C-alpha cells in the first residue's frame, strides 16, 4: 500500500476536487480517539500529507467532510482547533511556503 496514494484518493473523495497533488514525505503523524456513531470508540492513526489544490478551487465535500472550510495560517493559529490539527496545519503551511 502506498500511503501517499491513499491520502490523495481520500482527499479527492472528501473534497470533491479534481487535480489535487500530494507532496511526500508525510508531514505529520497523529493518534487520537474517535467515536463513530455505529462503532465503539477506538484509537485512530493518521499519517498526514500536504495536499495542494489547483488555484481557485472550491471544495464540494461529501458525507465524511462535514464543516469543511479553507482557513488561512492566521485563522488556524487563532482558531479553536485541536492541537494535532494546528500542528499539522503549521507544518503544511511551512512546507507550502518553501515549495512556493
pLDDT digits (tens, 9 = 90+) for 46-72: 999 999 999 999 888 777 777 778 899
| Cα 79 to Cα 71: distance, rounded to the nearest angstrom | 9
Q: Domains of the chain: which residue ranges?
A: 3-99
Q: What is the pLDDT of residues 12-57, one digit of tens each?
A: 998 989 999 999 999 999 999 999 899 999 999 999 999 999 999 9
**What nine digits make up the cell of 50?**
500536504
- C-beta separation of 41 from 35 below 8 A: yes
| Cα 51 to Cα 67: distance, rounded to the nearest angstrom | 18
Q: 3-class SS at 39?
A: coil
Amino acid at each position: 500500500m502506498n500511503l501517499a496514494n491513499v491520502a490523495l484518493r481520500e482527499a479527492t473523495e472528501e473534497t470533491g476536487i479534481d487535480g489535487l497533488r500530494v507532496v511526500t514525505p508525510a508531514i505529520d503523524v497523529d493518534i487520537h480517539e474517535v467515536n463513530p456513531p455505529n462503532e465503539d470508540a477506538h484509537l485512530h492513526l493518521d499519517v498526514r500529507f500536504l495536499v495542494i489544490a489547483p488555484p481557485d478551487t472550491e471544495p464540494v465535500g461529501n458525507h465524511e467532510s462535514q464543516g469543511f472550510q479553507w482557513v488561512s495560517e492566521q485563522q488556524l493559529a487563532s482558531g479553536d482547533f485541536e492541537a494535532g490539527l494546528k500542528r499539522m496545519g503549521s507544518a503544511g503551511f511551512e512546507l507550502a511556503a518553501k515549495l512556493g
